[in-house]
Amino acid sequence: MNTSPHQIECAIPILPVSDLARSVVFYTGPLGFKLDWGGGEDSCICSVSRDGCAIMLSQRDMISEPAWVWIGCEDESPFEMWRSNGVKVHQEPRNCSWAYEMKFEDLDGNILWLGTEPRRDEPFEDQK
């Protein structure tokens, strides 16, 4: 019997991509992630990370549908950074009871759903 309090080390989303090399450039460029491993000429999968959180990118033939990933943020600075870097906006910022959120799309239509704590100075759009 395992007596450690935590048996699950982490959960990492795996996003399907059509061109791994192109996606590595996108994630390590405008999105500001760093390449952890993989992504070389013969790779079909890699890991990128930012601020201690990882996302794996996999050639689409291994996974068929676009995916969504929630990225919890301390503040709204990634919203504006990604927008100013030309990342495609999927949903403009909105304030909900669970989060102040904004959604972006990567090059393959995967949704990067960013969120901070809800704003207390604005009404919640999900409670109108």
CA gap 4, 28 in Å, rounded:
35
Residue ranges of domains in the chain, CATH in brackets: 14-116 (3.10.180.10)
CA gap 4, 119 in Å, rounded:
37
Which two tokens mark 45? Answer: 């999968």
Query: pLDDT at position 66, please?
Result: 85
Residue ranges of the chain with per-residue pLDDT less than 70 = 1-9, 62-64, 128
Query: pLDDT at position 1, please?
Result: 53
Query: pLDDT at position 61, please?
Result: 75
| pTM exceeds 0.85 | no
